[in-house]
Chain A
Amino acid sequence: MKNFNGKILFLDRSDINTDEIIPAKYLTELTKAALKPYCLEDLSLPGFDPKKDIAGKSVIVTRANFGCGSSREHAPWVLECNGINIVIAENFARIFRQNMFNCGLMAISLEPAVIDELFKLFAGTDATLTTDLENKTFTVSNAKTSKVYPFTIGEFDLELVKAGGWVSYADNKY
Chain B
Amino acid sequence: MGKTLAQKIFDAHTVDTPAPGVRVLSLDRVFCHEITTPIAINDLVAIGKDRVFDPEKIKAVIDHVTPAKDSKTAEQGKTMREWAKRHGIKDFFDIGANGVCHAIFPEKGFVRPGFTVIMGDSHTCTHGAFGAFAAGVGTTDLEVGILKGVCTMREPATIKVVLNGKLRAGVFAKDVILAVIKLLTVNGATDKVIEFTGPAVDAMGMDSRMTLCNMAIEAGGTCGVCYPDMVTVDFLWPFIQNDFPSKEAALAEYSKWLPDADAVYDKVVTMDVSELEPMVTFGYKPDQVKTVREMTGTPVNQIYIGSCTNGRLEDLRIAAGILKGKKISENVRAIVSPATPKIYRDALKEGIIEIFMDAGFCVTNPTCGACLGMSNGVLANGESCASTTNRNFNGRMGKGGMVHLMSPATAAATAIAGVITNSPLFTGK
Interface residue ranges, A against B (CB under 8 Å): 14-15, 17, 19-20, 23-25, 27-32, 42, 44, 64-65, 68-73, 76, 91-95, 98-99, 102-103, 154-156, 159, 165-167, 170-171, 173-174
Contact = CB atoms under 8 A, between A and B. Distances in A.
Given A24-B374, A28-B72, A102-B138, A19 B395 contact: yes
B190 A69 contact: no
Nearest to A75: B138
Interface string B109-142: 0000000000111101000000000001111110
Nearest to A69: B393
A64 B124 CA distance: 23
B148 to A, nearest CB: 5
Contacts, number: 151
A171 B22 CA distance: 17
B138 A76 contact: yes
A111 B47 CA distance: 39
A25 B15 CA distance: 38
Given A25-B374, A167-B143, A65 B187 contact: yes
A23 B140 contact: no
Contact of A28 (B70, B136, B143, B187): B70
B136 A71 contact: yes
Contacts of B121: 70-71
Given A17-B393, A30-B39, A65-B186, A156 B19 contact: yes
A31 B46 CA distance: 12
A91 B394 CA distance: 21
Contact of A95 (B79, B137, B150): B137
Interface string B358-389: 00000000000000111000000000000000
Nearest to A28: B72
Nearest to A76: B138
B308 to A, nearest CB: 13
26 contacts: A14-B187, A15-B186, A17-B393, A24-B374, A28-B70, A28-B72, A69-B122, A70-B391, A71-B119, A71-B120, A71-B124, A71-B138, A73-B120, A73-B138, A73-B139, A94-B154, A95-B137, A99-B138, A102-B141, A154-B22, A166-B141, A167-B140, A170-B150, A170-B152, A171-B144, A174-B16
Contacts of B49: 171
Given A166-B140, A171-B147, 8 more contacts: A17-B394, A27-B64, A28-B72, A30-B76, A70-B122, A94-B191, A98-B138, A170-B147
